[in-house]
C-alpha cells in the first residue's frame, strides 16, 4: 500500500491541467478583474488638457474636465475608483503648503466635477503636503527637520477639506506618526464618519518614485530626501508595527508602497492582520515596463498583467496603478 498521499510520475503529470486554455482558466488559483483597480490619475490646471508625462509613456496630466472623462471611462470599464494626485507649478508652492487647505484647489474642484457627472465612481485623495510645499517634503520643515506634530494638525484639516469636496477615501501618504488617529477624529467631528481611511502604512523611501515626482512637479524642488519619515527598504518587521498602529488608530485599509519590490511585505501584512490590504504599483514600476516594451525588450501587455496578478497572488485586495484602464480593457475584451 502506497502511504505517500501524492501520486508520482507517470501516474501524476503536472502538465495535464496546463494543456488547454479552458483548463488553465479552470485551475487558476488567482483571478484578476477591473474591480481590483484604483486608477491613478495626475491632475493639472487647464481645460481640455492632456499633457504627456515624459517619464511615464501613456500617462497624461489631465485638466478637471478630462478627469471627468476618465471617470466615465472607469465606470464603463468596471473600475470602481480613481486615485487623484495634483500637479502644482513651482511658483504656486509655499513653505507651509497652504494650497492643501484651499477648498477650491485643483483636487477639490475636480472631485466635485467628477461626483456631479459620475457619482457612482469612488474617489481617493492623497493626504500629504509634498504637492504644495516649495521644499517638496510631505510635511512642514524647520531648520532641515520635518516637524511631525505640526504637520499632523495640517493633514487633519486637509482631510476634512477633501472629504467636504466629495472624496470617499482619505489616504494619508505622509508617514507622520499619529496622523491616522488625528484624521479619523477630525473627520468624525465634521460629520464624515463614513469616509474611509486607507493608510499608506508601509511606505518605503524608494528610488521608484522618481517619475511620479516629475509628474506632479516635485522633482525640481525636493530638498534632500525623505528617509527621516519614509521606511528603510531593509526593514520588514517595522512594516508590521506601522500597520498595527494605523489599524489601531482607525484605518479601514492599509497600503504597501511601492508594490513589486515589496510583495513579501504585502504577504506578511495580510497573513498577520487579515485586514484589507492594498498595493501601489508606483510610477517607476510602470515606467520600467513601458520603456522596456517600447524598446522591444519584453511583451508589454503580458508584463503588465503578470505584474498585476502578482499583487493579487501576494494577498492584495486591490491595486492602485497607472495601468488600470489598459488592463481593464484587456480583461474585458
Active-site residue set: 203, 257
- The separation between CA 250 and the C-alpha centre of its own chain, rounded to angstroms, equals 19
Q: What are phi and psi of 261, to 5 degrees?
A: -70, -5
Would the CA dihedral through 147, 153, 156, 162 be positive or negative? negative
| E strands in 176-281 | 196-203, 253-257, 277-281
Backbone angles phi, psi at 249, to 5 degrees: -85, -5
What is the distance between the alpha carbons of residues 231 and 227, in angstroms, rounded to a whole number?
7
Distance between CA 51 and CA 73 in Å, rounded?
A: 18
Cell 527621516, residue located? 228
Angle between helix 148-165 and helix 179-189 axes, rounded to 10 deg: 40
Query: Phi and psi of 225, rounded to 5°?
Result: -135, -175
Interatomic CA distance for residues 169 and 124, integer angstroms: 5
| Rounded distance between C-alpha atoms, residue 65 and residue 62, angstroms | 8
Instruction: Let me know: does 250 contact 227? Beta carbons within 8 Å.
Output: no
At residue 259, φ and ψ (nearest 5 deg) are -100, -75
Instruction: Indicate the burial class of 143 (C-beta count within 10 angstroms; 0-12, 13-18, 19 or more).
Output: exposed
Amino acid at each position: 500500500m502506497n502511504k505517500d498521499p501524492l501520486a508520482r510520475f507517470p501516474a501524476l503529470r503536472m502538465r495535464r491541467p496546463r494543456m488547454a486554455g479552458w483548463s488553465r482558466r479552470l485551475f487558476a488559483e488567482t483571478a484578476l478583474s477591473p474591480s481590483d483597480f484604483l486608477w491613478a490619475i495626475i491632475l493639472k490646471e487647464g481645460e481640455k488638457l492632456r499633457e504627456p508625462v515624459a517619464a511615464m509613456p501613456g500617462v497624461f496630466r489631465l485638466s478637471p474636465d478630462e478627469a471627468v472623462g476618465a471617470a466615465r471611462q472607469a465606470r464603463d470599464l468596471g473600475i470602481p475608483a480613481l486615485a487623484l494626485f495634483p500637479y502644482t507649478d513651482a511658483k504656486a508652492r509655499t513653505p507651509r503648503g497652504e494650497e492643501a487647505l484651499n477648498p477650491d484647489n485643483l483636487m477639490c474642484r475636480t472631485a466635485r466635477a467628477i461626483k456631479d457627472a459620475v457619482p457612482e465612481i469612488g474617489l481617493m485623495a492623497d493626504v500629504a503636503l509634498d504637492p504644495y510645499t516649495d521644499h517638496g517634503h510631505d510635511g512642514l520643515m524647520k531648520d532641515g527637520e520635518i516637524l511631525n506634530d505640526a504637520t499632523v494638525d495640517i493633514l487633519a484639516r486637509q482631510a476634512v477639506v477633501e472629504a467636504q469636496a466629495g472624496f470617499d477615501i482619505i489616504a494619508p501618504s505622509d508617514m507622520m506618526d499619529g496622523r491616522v488617529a488625528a484624521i479619523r477624529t477630525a473627520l468624525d467631528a465634521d460629520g464624515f464618519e463614513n469616509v474611509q481611511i486607507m493608510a499608506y502604512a508601509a511606505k518605503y523611501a524608494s528610488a521608484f518614485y522618481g517619475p511620479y515626482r516629475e509628474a506632479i512637479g516635485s522633482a525640481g524642488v525636493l530638498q534632500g530626501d525623505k528617509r527621516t519619515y519614509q521606511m528603510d527598504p531593509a526593514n520588514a518587521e517595522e512594516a508590521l508595527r506601522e500597520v498595527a498602529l494605523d489599524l489601531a488608530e482607525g484605518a479601514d485599509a492599509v497600503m504597501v508602497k511601492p508594490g513589486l519590490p515589496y510583495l513579501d511585505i504585502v504577504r506578511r501584512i495580510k497573513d498577520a492582520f487579515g485586514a484589507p490590504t492594498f498595493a501601489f504599483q508606483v510610477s517607476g514600476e510602470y515606467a520600467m515596463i513601458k520603456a522596456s516594451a517600447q524598446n522591444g525588450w519584453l511583451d508589454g501587455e503580458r508584463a503588465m498583467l503578470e505584474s498585476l496578478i502578482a499583487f493579487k497572488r501576494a494577498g492584495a485586495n486591490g491595486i492602485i496603478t497607472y495601468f488600470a484602464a489598459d488592463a481593464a480593457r484587456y480583461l474585458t475584451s
